[in-house]
Structure 1
Amino acid sequence: MAEQLRDFAHALLHALRNLLPIIVVVVAFQALLLREWPEGGLSMAAGLLIVALGVALFLQGLELSIFPVGKRLANQFARRGSMPILMLFGFAIGFSAVVAEPALIAVAEQASRISEGRIDALTLRLIVATSVGMVMALGVFRVILGHPLHWYMIVGYVLVVLVTFFAPEEIVGLAYDSGGVTTNIVTVPLIAALGIGLAASIRGRNPLIDGFGLVALAVMVPMISVQLYGILVYGDPGEVTAGAELVAAQHDTAPSSGLLALVFDLFGMLRDVLPILLVILFFQYAVLRRSLADPLRVGIGFGLVIVGLYAFVVGLKLGLFPIGQRMAEQLIAFDDWLWVYLFAFCIGFATTMAEPALIAVGQQAEEAAAGKIQGNAIRLLVAVGVAIGITLGVHRIISGDSIHHYIIGGYLLVILLTVLAPRYIVALAFDLGGVTTSEVTVPLVTALGIGLASQIEGRNVLIDGFGLIAFASIFPIVTVMSYAILMERVAKYRGKTT
């Protein structure tokens, strides 16, 4: 019990540390520029604490239940050496991990509310989760056969660009954001460890070249599937009224009692986590035909996951969403766009430098690269890329430009850099583009975009409010690959002059 309490305290401290850069940037702008305490500031502060508590409970539940059971299952399947079973397990783990992702839940709920029910939150989450499951199966297949990742990425992003040409503008920003939120502190280390471990166990595979890339695929494929979903949804004009009526009906039937609402919300969280539980029980009992090592511990862990998710969502509504929207309102009222750009840059840089998933992947890359890559340099490059990306995304909202042009141009640049970049950096660069968005950063950045779009005249919240996360995912790939190309050219030049 003492060990569990110590682990929980560590997780809570970890969550508070992730929030610290956001708090520092917001307080600095409030004190030095705006010089006022935000309206509802105490409620926002309470919301931030609840977010930290929810994340800590969620992570503690994962450590007690999903992680140990999942690792044991992976080891047992790896010993069997069956590709179909490994691919099926990869699909199941990818699906179940993403469908309960807190950041995805937050973005899906925002999209459903803003579209007046035309975009269904649960459907969106199931599409993204299914896409990631298919990606995990494909990634296992790629590592086993030793296919070069860059061909997968080039073909994939060409498809992304083509689908973007035909996708309705209401879905493009949301689709790219949905790809960005599939990876966080929970999924990134798990996915990266699976790829690196598999590459290390197969003769002739390089952990740096072959082991990385699963995270990149997990970001890319949902962009395609969500845009296809948008083409179907917005292809029938008659669905708007039905969606709006559905939302109105949901509001009308919502329980009025606070206690009853709490019970309904907790049951909703149980529904969110249930796919993970079903996957584990199915593979444990139906495929391996073995009982769980410690059912009580696993049960307690799942309970903590559910309560943690609930606290996280409550904290979002009280803290991170209002902060992002309120800061957008205040900075716009200041009547100088320079401060909006500066705030976007600072938030992007500060939150990324403290991103734990980025730290973990940077350390894994440094170990796998055997001296070619420094973890701290990678973090700095990625943080600068995120800051540039979010700033450019804010500029798009302010100017009212079409997101199609920015996204297509950004990924055409990525495809060009993929052709030019040294092979050892390609998989890692794409993975780093996916680790920049955590369960803390995503809600704040999403709220900032929605706040700006709702305050600037002539902007459509659904069309212009989403997309900042996409920019935060594209430009770290650009900065990391550009740095690798530059270093390779410098090394060749020095080699010629000596």
Structure 2
Amino acid sequence: MQTMEVVLAEQLRDFAHALAHALRNLLPIILVVVAFQALLLQEWPEGGMGMIAGLLIVAVGVALFLRGLELSIFPVGKRLANQFARRGSMPILMLFGFAIGFSAVVAEPALIAVAEQASQISEGRIEALTLRLIVASSVGLVMALGVFRVILGHPLHWYMIIGYMAVVTVTFFAPEEIVGLAYDSGGVTTNIVTVPLIAALGIGLASSIRGRNPLIDGFGLVALAVMVPMISVQLYGILVYSDPGNVTGGVTWLTAQATDTQAPSGLLKAVLDLLGMLRDVLPIILVILFFQYAVLRHPLTNPLRVTVGFALVIIGLYAFVVGLKLGLFPIGQSMATQLIAFDNWLWVYLFAFSIGFATTMAEPALIAVGQQAEEAAAGKIQGNVIRLLVALGVAIGITIGVHRIITGDSIHHYIIGGYTLVIVLTALAPRYIVALAFDLGGVTTSEVTVPLVTALGIGLASQIDGRNVLVDGFGLIAFASIFPIVTVMSYAILMESLMKMRGKTT
């Protein structure tokens, strides 16, 4: 009994630490919104108390979620990767990579939300389920390819240069209705569950194989997971929009089902939502258990601890989604409406920059990857510097993306120009930073950033005359992914140049 009390006390202490950490990370968002409301708009937003309650629920959800990950998915995933690496079976490792990638993404709530929004806005031309399966299959294949690369020790920069040349080429031919959605679909594949798990898989493999460097070879899987869906979704869009008559009648069956059936309320709705969270996490749980028991044929080392962890993941995810609906979604839409009514675009730009910086500094996945990078680099990289560089890149990217919505410019030119710059920097940057930089571009689009940025983009596109929500509303997530790669690589190039200059002068 005493042992159980000690364990419970430790878990409560860890949860309190995680909750304080989550509240501290959400503080920049609150400060930005309060500053704009108090100093500029000078009015309290309608439903402001509900938004604050939503942000607090988000913090509780993130804390529960991260504790659940630490107890279950992270240790089990790392152990599986190490055991497969010791076995040395490439087919099993690639199959494991595919299964992890597909299962983690196919039921990802952010992807479901984006897919259903796209289906409604496109009047059924883009099918939500088809879009999700395309993205999930792409990520699964990418994970298998990434495992292959780590095992053979191929340099990542060639994969990224060739891959983004393909992205830019496909973007040139893709219809404008699909480009922003394609880049956003790539961005939302990297979330608070998939990023740390995929990063743990890559680092675990690199650490287990002789001659591999965890920093150079372990990172990069997240970058590939972002890149390939951009290509596959654009190819899907080319196919869909090549047939002018390919419209399914306004809404998908998912939307029709939601509107035709009376929505449950109260306790029943809460139970159904919680079961929905179980459905979202279940694929990755089943994959992990299948490989643990059916392939390795080893029991879990601490099944009770893992079970409690899985339960915390589900409850935390449920609280997080509830908080999003109450807090982050309304904030993005409300601020877009209020700032446009203020009739001064400068404040819109300033809010976009501020909220991009604040949401990124609050991003749990970025904090996790920054810590892993600092450990893998053995002092060569500082986690806090990485966070600041990435936050600056996101702030710049979202500001440029908002400018595109305001002016109505074609997203093609911005995307092609942005990734052309990325390709050039990839060729110039020191090898140790390339994989990490691309991964950092992916982790900026996670649970905190995506809802707020998506709501801001759609809110702006719906409020500005002459803008198409499908064409102009999507795409901000893409800009949030491109420019952190630029800032991190540029910083590494600058630091290396300064070191060389100092070496010559001494």
Question: Aligned in 2, Cα 1:120/1:317: closer, same or farther, shift over 3 Å?
Answer: farther
Q: Which residue of 2 aligns with 1:265?
A: 273
Does the 8 Å CA contact 2:393/2:487 hold for their aligned counterparts?
Answer: yes
Superposition RMSD in Å: 2.3
Q: Pick the aligned partner of 1:453 from 461, 471, 476.
A: 461
Q: Deviations over 1:402-445 (max 9, x none)?
A: 11110011001111111122222222221221122221111101
Q: Do structure 1's residue 103 and structure 2's residue 110 form an aligned pair?
A: yes
Q: Given the alignment, which residue of 60, 63, 76 partners 1:69?
A: 76
Residues 244-301 of structure 1: CA deviation (Å, up to 9, x unaligned) = 2633343112444544444443333332222112212321232123344454544444
Aligned residue for 1:401? 409
Change (3 A) 1:149 1:284: same
CA distance 1:269–1:497, shift in 2 (3 Å): closer
Give the letter for the 1:376 counterpart: N
In structure 1, the residue matched to 2:350 is: 342
For residue 41 of structure 2, the aligned residue among 34, 41, 53 is 34
Report the equivalent of 1:25: 32
CA–CA distance in structure 2, aligned partners of residues 202 and 292 of structure 1? 23
One-letter amino acid of the counterpart of residue 327, structure 1? M
Distance in 2 (CA, whole Å) between partners of 1:151 and 1:9 is: 44
Equivalence for 1:435: 443
1:183-332 alignment, distance < 5 Å: 183-244=190-251, 246=253, 247-332=255-340
Conserved 8 A contact 1:98-1:182 = yes
Q: Identify the range of structure 1 (352-361 vs 427-436) with the bigger mean alpha-carbon deviation.
A: 352-361
Q: Report if aligned partners of 2:74, 2:196 keep a CA contact under 8 Å in 1.
A: no
CA deviation after TM superposition for structure 1 residue 219, in Å: 1.3
Q: Which letter does structure 1 place at the counterpart of 2:328? A: L
Q: Tell me by how many angstroms 1:239 deviates.
A: 4.1
Alpha-carbon shift at residue 106 of structure 1 (Å): 3.5
Q: Which residue of 2 aligns with 1:142?
A: 149
Instruction: Give the deviation of 1:4 after TM superposition.
Output: 3.0
Call closer, same or farther: CA 1:368–1:256 in 2, change over 3 Å. Answer: closer
Letter in 2 for 1:443: P
User: What SS class does the counterpart of residue 46 from structure 2 fall into?
Assistant: coil
Contact 1:50 1:314 survives alignment (8 Å): yes
Q: Structure 2 length normalisation: TM-score?
A: 0.91
| 1:111-122 mapped onto 2 (5 Å cutoff) | 111-122=118-129
**1:94 — aligned with what?**
101
CA–CA distance in structure 1, aligned partners of residues 80 and 204 of structure 2:
14
| Alpha-carbon distance in structure 2 between the residues aligned to 1:490 and 1:464 | 41
Per-residue deviation at 1:312?
2.5
- How far is the alpha carbon of 1:173 from its aligned partner? 0.9
Q: How many residues align?
A: 498
Residues 1:245 and 1:119: Cα distance change in structure 2 (over 3 Å): closer
Counterpart Cα distance in 1 of 2:301 and 2:79: 10
Change in 2 beyond 3 A, CA 1:313/1:238: farther
What is the CA deviation profile of residues 88-121 of structure 1, one whole-angstrom value per residue up to 9, with x for unaligned ones? 1122222222334343344334333433444343
* Aligned equivalent of 2:62: 55
Deviations 1:126-152 (CA, angstroms, capped at 9, x unpaired): 322222222221111111111111110
**Separation in structure 2 between the aligned mates of residue 496 and residue 59 of structure 1, nearest angstrom:** 47
The equivalent residue for 2:166 is 159
SS in 2 for 1:53: helix
1:110 maps to amino acid: Q
Indicate which of 486, 490, 496 corresponds to 2:498.
490
Measured after TM superposition, the shift of residue 459 of structure 1 is 0.6
Whether the 8 Å CA contact 1:107–1:443 is kept in 2: the answer is no
Q: Does residue 472 of the first structure (1) align with residue 480 of the second (2)?
A: yes
Residue equivalent to 2:21: 14
- Offset from partner CA, 1:200-257 (integer Å, 9 cap, x none): 3323222222222112111111111222222333344444343426333431124445
Which consecutive unaligned segments of at least 5 residues does structure 1 have? none
| Inter-CA distance 169–145: structure 2 relative to 1 (3 Å threshold) | same
Return the offset for 1:66: 2.5
Query: What are the ranges of 5 or more consecutive residues in structure 2 without an aligned counterpart?
Result: 1-7
In structure 2, distance between residues paired with 1:254 and 1:337: 41
1:142-196: CA deviation from partner (whole Å, max 9, x where unpaired): 1111111111001100111111122221221111112222223433333223223
CA-CA distance at 1:477 after TM superposition = 1.0
Match of 2:419 in 1: 411
CA drift at 1:460: 0.8
8 A Cα contact 1:106 1:443, kept in partner: no
Give the deviation of 1:325 after TM superposition: 0.6
For the 8 Å contact 2:77–2:197, the answer to whether it is kept is: no
Report the Cα distance in structure 2 between the residues aligned to 1:466 and 1:400, rounded to whole angstroms. Answer: 12
Measured in 1, the distance between the counterparts of 2:262 and 2:47 equals 25
State the match for 1:351 in structure 2: 359
> Could you say if the C-alpha distance between residues 291 and 380 of structure 1 is closer, same or farther in structure 2, counting changes exceeding 3 Å?
closer
Q: Deviations over 1:7-27 (max 9, x none)?
A: 333333333223211111000
| Structure 1 pair 121–23 and aligned structure 2 pair: CA distance change class (3 A) | farther
8 Å CA contact retained: 1:181, 1:437: yes
Over 3 Å counting, the alpha-carbon distance change for 1:148 and 1:264 in structure 2 is same
Q: Provide the secondary structure at the position in 2 that maps to 1:240.
A: coil
Question: Is 1:2 the counterpart of 2:9 in the alignment?
Answer: yes
CA distance in 2, matches of 1:207, 1:303: 31
Residues 303 and 490 (structure 1 numbering): CA distance in 2 closer, same or farther, change over 3 Å? closer
- Kept in 1, the 8 Å contact 2:101–2:140? The answer is yes
Contact kept in structure 1, 2:64 and 2:313, CA below 8 Å: yes
User: Which 10-residue stretch deviates more, 366-375 or 446-455?
Assistant: 366-375
- Counterpart code for 1:339: W
